[in-house]
Structure 1
Amino acid sequence: MISAAAFMLLATTVLAACGTTKPAQAPATTGAAATTAAKAGTEKMYIPVISKGFQHQFWQAVKLGAEKAAKEFNVEITFEGPETEQQVDKQIEMLQAALGKKPAAIAFAALDSKAASPLLEKAKTSKIPVVGFDSGVDSDIPVTTAATDNKAAAALAADKMAELIGKEGEIAVVAHDQTSRTGVDRRDGFTNRIKEKYPNIKIVDTQYSGDQLKATDLTKAILQAHPNVKGIFGTNEGAAIGVINGVTESKKDGKVVIVGYDSGKLQKDAIRSGKMAGAITQDPIGIGYWAVKASVQAVKGETVPKSIDTGFHWYDKTNIDSAEIKPLLYD
C-alpha cells in the first residue's frame, strides 16, 4: 500500500509539472520589423479640434471643413465644443482631456485665452503643436492661427452701416462676448472705424449677449433707453438673430438698420425679407480645413505662416445667391 501511494504521489507531481509548463515564446521583433509594427499601431496622427460651441450652424460648417482636411491628409480628428459659448470651464475640461490623450497636435478656438493659458503651456512643454482657429488664442504659443481678419471685417460692417443710415445718427452694438478674440476684435473693428471715419455717428450703447435670447432682451432694452437709434450691429449669428427679434418685438421693423455677422437660415431669411440690411460672411469651411491642414504641417515640421487669413465678404439681397457668396453661406 505504501508503494502504491508513493507511485500515485509521483504521478501527480509529474502531471502537475506538465500542466504549468509555459508555451514557447516567439522571438522579439527587432530592427526594421519592429519599426513597421510600431507604425502599424499608429497609422494616423490624432488631432483634437476644440471649438467654441455647437449651438450655431457656423460651427457645423467649420466641422465639415475639418473633416474634409482629415480625409485628405489621412489623419484622425475629433471635433468638440461646449453646448454654449459661455461654458469656459467646460471647454477647459475638454482641452485638458485632449492633452491627456497625447495627441500629435491640437487645434483650438479659445473662449477665454487667459483661462486656457496653463494648459497651452503644458502643450508647449510636451512639444504638442497648437494651431488656433476662428478666434484663435491670445498667446505666442500657437504656431499659426486660421481665422478671418475680424477687425477688417467688422470695419467693413461699420462702413456699410454708415452708408445705410446716411453717415449720421445714433447706433448700438450687441456683441457676443468680451473675452474671446472674435468678440473683442469685431467690437473694436466696428467701433474704431466709426470713431475714426464718421464723426456724426454716435455709438450710444455696447452690450454683450452670450446667446440669442439674451441678445433679444438687450436689443429691446437698448431701443427703450435710446428711441432714436438708427442702426444696430450684431457681432455673430446668435447676436444678430437676437437683434432681429428684439427689433421686431419692439415693433420697429423698417425703422432700425440691422447689420449682422455670419450666416444661418434665420439671417438669410431676414436679409431676403428686408428685416436685415446685410451681413459679413466668413469662410467657415475654410477655417476648419486650414485648422487641420496647418496642424499636420506643424507636426511634420513644415513651415507655416504665423497667420492664415481665410477671408470675408459682405452680402445682402443683391448678391446672396451669387456664385461667389452662396457657397460661403450655411443653414
Structure 2
Amino acid sequence: MRTLKGIMCRGGVVGAPQAGPAARPSGQRQHRGQRPRVSRHPRRPWIVSALAALTTGAALTLGLTGCAGLGERVSGSNGRMDIAVVAKGYASPFWAAVKAGTMAAGQDLGVNVTFSGPDTESDVVRQVDQINLAHVQHPDAFVFAALDSSASVIALQQFVDSGIPVIAFDSGVPGSDIPVSTVATDNRAAAAEAAKHMAELLGGEGKVAVLAQSSTSVTGTDRRDGFIGWLAANAPGVDVVDVQYNDSDQAKAEQQAAAILQAHPDLAGMFATDDDGAVAAAQTVRRTERDVQVIGFDSGAVQIGLIRKGVMAGAVTQNPYQMGYIAVEKAVAAAKGEEVEPEIDSGFYWYDATNLDDPDIQKAVYD
C-alpha cells in the first residue's frame, strides 16, 4: 500500500504524516519506572484502519482543493487521457493564445487538458510549485515551458521517475534529456531576421539597444544572442551599446527604455525580445519624440496598432496557437508510446505595415 507523503503547495506540504511518536501534552512527562497509562477503551483494529483511511482521503482532498494554480480542465474525470500544461504565464495575449491552442487540441483529440502558469514571468518559485502540483495529479503526459531551465530540472525529474513523458514548448531544457520533444520557434533564427531588418533600416550603421525579457529563459537568451550574433557577423557598423532584462514587465521595460534613450542621445534603434518590451520601447520613443527605429517580437494587439501607426518599424511573430496545439498533440502521442520528433519548429514570420493583412500573417498574430 502506497503511503501519502504529502502534496506540495506554495509555502509547504499538505497532507504530510508526522514522524515519530505522538507528543505528550506540554508539562507532562513519564517518570522513570512508571508504567505507561493504558486506555480502558482500546480502539479495535478495524476502527483504526477506517480512521486512517478517512484521514488520508481528507488530506488528499484538502491538498488538491487548497492549492492554487491547478489550472482549468476541459472536462472532468471521464476515463479520458489527462494532459497537464504549465506555461511561463497565464494572462498575457501570447499565453492566452497558447492556452487556446492547447484547449482546442484537447477537444479535437478527446483528452482532458489543464493549463496553468504564474502571474508573472519572473516568478520561478511559483512555477516550480505548479510543476509539483501537476505531478501530484499524475497526468498521462506533461507539457512545460521553462522560466528557468536549470531551476526546473529537479522538479521535472519526478515525471521521468513516474514514467510520465514530458514535452517542452517555447523554451527547451538545454543539457537535459528529460523532454522527449521540444516544440518551439527557432528563436535565434527569428531574432536574426529582426537584426537583418534593423540593419537595413539603419543603412548598415548606428547604435542599437536590446530590451530582453529574461537572462535565464532559453527563449530570451536565444533571441538576444541571435540578434547580436547576426549583427556582429553581417553588419559590423551596427553597434549594440546596451542590453537590459525586464522579466516581461512592461513598466520595468519602459523605465529601462527611458534610461537608455537618456544615456545614448544618438541611439538609432531598439530591439525588444517580447511583446511587453516592444510596446514599452515604442511608447517611450513616441513619448520622448525620438527618431529611433523599434523592432519587436510577437504580435499582441497594442504592438500591431503601433506598427500600423508607424511608431514601430515591424516585428517577428511566432504562432502561439499552433505551438500550444502541437505541444498537446505530441504529448498525447508520447503518452500512447508513439515515437515523436525530438525538435519541432513551430515557425515565425516577419511582419510590418506592408504585409500585416496577408492571410499567413493573420493566422499567426494573436490580437
1:160-171 to 2 correspondence within 5 Å? 160-171=197-208
Give me the whole-angstrom Cα distance separating, in 1, the residues matched to 2:363 and 2:229. 30
* Amino acid aligned to 2:337: G
* Amino acid aligned to 1:209: N
Q: Which residue of 2 aligns with 1:114?
A: 150
The superposition leaves residues 13-55 of structure 1 with CA deviations (integer Å, 9 ceiling, x where unpaired) of: xxxxxxxxxxxxxxxxxxxxxxxxxxxx762111111110024
Q: Which residue of 2 aligns with 1:249?
A: 287
* Amino acid aligned to 1:224: Q
1:1-331 to 2 correspondence within 5 Å? 43-138=79-174, 139-210=176-247, 211-252=249-290, 255-331=291-367
The superposition leaves residues 133-167 of structure 1 with CA deviations (integer Å, 9 ceiling, x where unpaired) of: 11232322100011100000000000000001111
Whichever of the two has the greater Rg, that structure is: 1
Q: Which runs of 5+ in 1 are unaligned?
A: 1-40
Give me the whole-angstrom Cα distance separating, in 1, the residues matched to 2:351 and 2:159. 39
* Amino acid aligned to 1:180: S
The superposition leaves residues 49-81 of structure 1 with CA deviations (integer Å, 9 ceiling, x where unpaired) of: 111002420111111111111011111011111
Residue 274 of structure 1: how far off its partner (Å)? 0.3
User: Which deviates more from structure 2 when the two are superposed, residues 242-251 or residues 157-166?
Assistant: 242-251
Q: Which residue of 2 aligns with 1:23?
A: none
The superposition leaves residues 169-201 of structure 1 with CA deviations (integer Å, 9 ceiling, x where unpaired) of: 100100011111110110010000011111111
Give me the whole-angstrom Cα distance separating, in 1, the residues matched to 2:91 and 2:315. 19
Question: Percent same amino acid at aligned positions?
Answer: 47
The superposition leaves residues 197-239 of structure 1 with CA deviations (integer Å, 9 ceiling, x where unpaired) of: 1111100000001211111010010011111110000100111
Question: Would you say the 8 A contact 1:56–1:237 is kept in 2?
Answer: no
Question: Would you say the 8 A contact 1:220–1:249 is kept in 2?
Answer: no
Runs of 4+ aligned residues of structure 1 deviating over 4 Å after TM superposition are none
- CA RMSD of the aligned region, Å? 1.0
TM-score if structure 2 supplies the norm length?
A: 0.77
Higher RCO structure, 1 or 2 (CA under 8 Å, sep 6+): 1
Give me the whole-angstrom Cα distance separating, in 1, the residues matched to 2:172 and 2:97. 17
Residue 326 of structure 1: how far off its partner (Å)? 1.0
* Amino acid aligned to 1:203: V
